[in-house]
């Protein structure tokens, strides 16, 4: 009675790097870690549909909350982004996206400046009123 069948010799693919046998379902060599698929790793499907943010929500928000004229400019550029993407004009879409973002920040900055100016103005007025009523 030979016990050759008990020997746990894997019957899988032989490693091309080190020559040791591996388990049949092994994808990488248990000895050296080399790929057993012969370099035929399934490549992930490459889709070159890049995402271009259109900043439309930002543009609407700054229009409502901060500064109407600059916000409208931002909305105009933001609205161009998806249209240009749909037309395959990727560079144009990126350009519009960048302009929309810029005008969002301009609108936000101007709105913030006006808010500060208004707050300062109100402080001066209230201060003056307080002085007058105290006199
Ligand atoms: Zn190996």
Average pLDDT over residues 101-109: 88
Average pLDDT over residues 6-29: 81
Angle between helices 90-134 and 56-65 (to 10 degrees): 20
Distance 43 CA to ligand 1 centre (A): 22
Distance 123 CA to ligand 1 centre (A): 78
For residue 102, the tally of other CB atoms under 10 A from its CB is 15
Using an 8 Å Cβ cutoff, are 63 and 107 in contact? yes
Rounded Cα–Cα distance for residues 66 and 117 (Å): 13
Distance 2 CA to ligand 1 centre (A): 30
pLDDT of residue 6: 52
Residues ≥6 apart with Cβ < 8 Å to 71: 59, 60, 62, 63, 64, 103, 104, 107
Using an 8 Å Cβ cutoff, are 95 and 89 in contact? no
Distance 36 CA to ligand 1 centre (A): 8
92 pLDDT band (50/70/90 cuts)? very high
Distance 107 CA to ligand 1 centre (A): 62
Tens digits of residue pLDDT in 24-79? 888 889 999 998 876 555 555 555 567 888 888 888 888 887 667 888 889 999 99
Rounded Cα–Cα distance for residues 23 and 2 (Å): 23
The separation between CA 68 and the C-alpha centre of its own chain, rounded to angstroms, equals: 27
pLDDT of residue 100: 92
């Amino acid at each position: 009675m030979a016990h050759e069948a008990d020997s746990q010799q894997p019957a899988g693919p032989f490693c091309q790097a080190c020559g040791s046998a591996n388990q049949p379902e092994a994808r990488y060599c248990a000895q050296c870690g080399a790929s057993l698929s012969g370099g035929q790793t399934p490549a992930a499907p490459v889709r070159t549909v890049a995402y271009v943010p259109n900043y439309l929500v930002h543009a609407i928000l700054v229009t409502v909350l901060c500064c109407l004229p600059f916000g409208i400019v931002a909305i105009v550029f933001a609205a161009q982004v998806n249209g240009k993407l749909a037309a395959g004009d990727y560079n144009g879409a990126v350009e519009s996206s960048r302009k929309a973002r810029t005008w969002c920040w301009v609108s936000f900055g101007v709105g913030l400046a006006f808010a500060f100016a208004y707050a300062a103005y109100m402080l001066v007025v209230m201060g003056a009123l307080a002085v007058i009523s105290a006199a």
